[in-house]
Chains A and B, each alone.
Chain A
Amino acid sequence: MQERNLLLERLGTALKYAILIIGAIMMVFPFAWMIDASLMTSSEIQRRPPALYPAEVQWQNFTQLLDVLPFGRLYLNSLIVTISTVIGVLFTSSLAGFAFAKYQFPGREVLFYIILATMMIPFFVTLIPVFYIVRQLGWIDSYQGLILPSITSAYGIFLMRQFIVSIPDELIDAARIDGAPEPMIYWRIIIPLTRPALATLGTFVFIGSWNAFLWPLLVINSRDLYTVPLGLNTLRTFAAEARNLNLLMSGTVLSVVPTLILFIFLQRYFIQGITLTGLKG
């Protein structure tokens, strides 16, 4: 009887790992296939059936790709936009979160509810008006057009307020007694103490901003200002016509690698953020 149970348990464990491994292979397979194809020749890909692996690894796909699409420039643009957006969101969210958590002023509750309400507005409803406003401001085809509309986040303000509420008032009062002006309290006390929340929010905003496609597609016309997703989209149409599928895959590799690397290093914060929004939000 006991032996049978042990056997069953072993079988169960083996099955468990088998399912997890199959699942993981399915998850990684598209990425592996993308890297595989990015190192083939175009004819190897289009042969019927295509090659399973490159007869000879085509590293030159990547150098050829750089002739078609200036990836350095795309990275630079994406970095400028993404980092500015992250800094903007972290700054405005922590400031407003601080004010809503620790200051008394008339209208505080109402304004906070308004902010909560804007969290429910989906992006596509505001797309046409925001595009119109940005155009009226003369921000089409500019970094500010990409960055400025998204430097505040209702969700960010909410998250930071929840976090700052739990900071003891005594810390703030002690600083005031020492004669610290309010902005210094924000900078010297609030910012250091909210670092984990800032890291979580920052990771989210970074990935969202790096992957953003629709807004840049609307705002940017000139290739000099293309972000990585816009470049990938151009490559997509180009590859469909020219049948340069190997270059398309090299481009996709270059476009996803930065977020993958960032995630591997910061996954703790990311998972934390999800659990936070998923259950306590």
Chain B
Amino acid sequence: MRRRMIWGYVFIAIPILWLLVFSLGPILFSGWVSLHRWDMITPVAEMPYTGLENYDYIFTRDNVFPKALGNTFLFAIGGVTTNVVLGLAFALLLNTKIRGRTLWRVLYFLPVITAPLALGVIFAFMFNRNYGVINNLLVVLNLPRQGFLNDPNQAMFVLIAIAVYQYVGYYIVIYLAGLQDIPQDYYDAARVDGASYWQELWYITLPLLRPVMLFIIVTNTIGALQVFDLVFATTGGAPANSTMTVVLYMYNTAFKYSRMGRASAMAFVLFGIILLITIVQLRLFRDRTTA
């Protein structure tokens, strides 16, 4: 029995050590760094303690960080709303009697498994002001050319569209699984009572999909708040910081300008927001399992 206990410890030794060194330890260290001024060259023991100065700076004196935070929220809200609606619409379509369901699923899913960096390259090309195919289609349709990624008023919306394109297939699959969990009996009973399609949708499908929808909203929000590769590959935060997001700005602050303290403070602010959303998620799911 004792020997078996030892095997238990042996089996978890590497993962536990790894999570301590590469996950739990770093998060504590990161919190510590956010209270200091550090360029990563100064030895850790000698970095000057600055208290909450970094937090104060990024909110009151840094004019990019608040903007990046706002942009990131806009990106998340725009993308999540569209994914929730569009994903549901297509999942409902795919959940009816339809030929070649696997084929549809594969087609809608292709962008999900493609590197965001590669999609960024393709879309930067397609949305180019001068030679992009989207502008050429507009010209063919007698519509004015657009700046798209070069226009500060449009760039963020183009990024949202790309992000929706990339992930909507993922949410379609999750919705589909949720739809298939709804017992057919409910629909049969409703049909006996003469309910229309829209009544079924409103009184049966949507209420029963609520947990799935909440899951999609929360995970999609958490993911969208961390966007990096896509922005890096398309605009790099330009024009005029209109697409600067928190993680991209944090990356620049840390690895371009060597301001580890400020970057860590930014990371912690975003982490706090994500943690809040996670707690909300856990509560919502607890409600679901007890109800």
Contact = CB atoms under 8 A, between A and B. Distances in A.
Interface of A: 16-17, 19-20, 23-24, 26-28, 30-31, 33-34, 37, 45-50, 92-93, 95-96, 98-100, 103-106, 108, 111, 114-115, 117-118, 120-130, 132-133, 149-152, 154, 157, 182-183, 186, 207, 210-211, 213-214, 218, 229, 232-233, 236, 245, 248-249, 252, 255-256, 259-260, 263-264, 267, 270-271, 274-275, 278-279
Given A30-B111, A111-B16, A211-B114, 9 more contacts: A24-B108, A122-B270, A126-B27, A128-B26, A128-B264, A152-B22, A213-B115, A214-B228, A274-B170
A214 B229 contact: yes
Contact of A154 (B23, B116, B260): B23
B165 interface: yes
A71 to B, nearest CB: 14
Given A50-B133, A95-B12, A124-B267, A263 B4 contact: no
A152 B255 contact: no
Contacts of A182: 4, 7
B19 interface: yes
Given A124-B226, A127-B254, A100 B94 contact: no
A20 B104 CA distance: 8
B285 to A, nearest CB: 10
- Lowest 8 CB-CB distances: which A-B pairs, in order? A103-B8, A129-B26, A99-B11, A211-B115, A126-B26, A278-B174, A152-B18, A105-B8
B205 to A, nearest CB: 16
B141 interface: no
A275 B23 contact: no
B169 interface: yes
B130 interface: yes
A123 B131 contact: no
Contacts of B45: none
A129 B113 contact: no
Contacts of A46: 130-131
14 contacts: A30-B111, A30-B165, A34-B122, A49-B140, A50-B131, A128-B254, A132-B29, A154-B23, A210-B115, A213-B117, A259-B115, A267-B106, A274-B177, A278-B173
The binding surface of chain A is classed by DSSP as helix
Given A49-B136, A256-B118, A275 B173 contact: yes
A205 B104 CA distance: 24
B117 A229 contact: yes
Contacts of A103: 4-5, 7-8, 11
B131 A256 contact: no
Contact of B110 (A20, A27, A150): A27
Contacts of B232: 213
B238 to A, nearest CB: 13
Interface string B186-230: 000000000000000000000000001001000000100010110
Contacts of B260: 128
B109 interface: yes
A280 B177 CA distance: 11
A104 B267 contact: no
Contacts of A183: 7
B251 interface: yes
A210 B23 CA distance: 21
Nearest to B107: A24
A27 B111 contact: yes
Contacts of A45: 131
A128, A255, A263, A264 — most chain B CB neighbours (10 Å): A128
Nearest to A248: B121
Interface in B10-24: 11-12, 14-16, 18-19, 21-24
Contact of A31 (B26, B102, B110): B110
Interface stretch (B56-64, B150-158, B271-279): B271-279
A49 B18 CA distance: 54
Contact of B118 (A121, A232, A271): A232
B247 interface: yes
A189 B33 CA distance: 46
B50 to A, nearest CB: 16
B33, B177, B215, B254 — most chain A CB neighbours (10 Å): B177
B73 interface: no
B9 A115 contact: no
Given A98-B11, A124-B226, A218 B255 contact: yes
Contact of A118 (B23, B131, B247): B23
Contact of A151 (B18, B117, B123, B228): B18
Given A104-B5, A120-B278, A33 B133 contact: yes
B263 interface: yes
Contact of B24 (A118, A122, A279): A118
A149 to B, nearest CB: 5
B146 to A, nearest CB: 14
Contacts of A271: 105, 109, 173
B30 A128 contact: yes
